[in-house]
Amino acid sequence: MPALKELDRFSHAQVLWWFSGFQDDMYRQIMQSEHAPYEAPVLGVFACRSPVRPNPIGLTPAEIVGVDDEEGVVEIVSIDAYDGTPVLDLKPYIPASDRVKDVRVPEWMAGWPEWMPDEGHRLEEGE
């Protein structure tokens, strides 16, 4: 598949995917997340990563394990999406444009790790 040419030379990709379980119109009307899976105040949907949002698009950086140009398959370590989730796009992870030197996060998030875990993002059992 010509679209995958040279992707295997990158260690990670930004995966844009569709929260397919939350595409019903009722979810698109919700503008605040009150039930985050972590300790947080009520958040506007653009201040969180809730799947309940006007456009249910997810974004996850993922380590690339392999790229099969012939079959059009990209194998990644892990992602916080369910099997069969539609992938909208892949973009190579480029530190100069995908990483920010000095960031600010809310106080309730101050104890979170600075980097993505080596095993990637994943859904916990029962989510």
The larger pLDDT score, comparing residue 22 to residue 114, is at 22
Q: Give the residue-averaged pLDDT of 28-32.
A: 91
Q: Is residue 89 part of a domain?
A: yes
Q: Is residue 35 part of a domain?
A: yes
Residue 126 lies in a domain: no
Q: Is the pLDDT of residue 125 over 60?
A: no
13 located within any domain: yes
Read off the CATH number of the domain in which 43 is found. 2.40.30.70
The pLDDT score that the predictor gives to residue 65 is 96
Please state the separation of Cα 69 from the chain's center in Å: 23
Q: State the total domains in the chain.
A: 1
Contact yes or no for 13/7 (Cβ under 8 A): yes
pLDDT at 37: 66
Strands 32-33 and 12-18, sheet pairing = unpaired
Q: Is residue 116 part of a domain?
A: no
Domain annotation covers residue 120: no
* DSSP, res 83: T
Tens digits of residue pLDDT in 80-112: 888 889 999 999 999 999 988 888 989 988 888
**pLDDT of 11 over the 90 cut:** yes
Q: Considering the domain boundaries, does residue 75 fall inside one?
A: yes
**Mean pLDDT across the chain:** 88
C-alpha to C-alpha distances, 48 to 19, 44, 81, nearest whole angstrom: 14, 7, 16
Q: Which domain holds residue 86?
A: 2-95+105-109
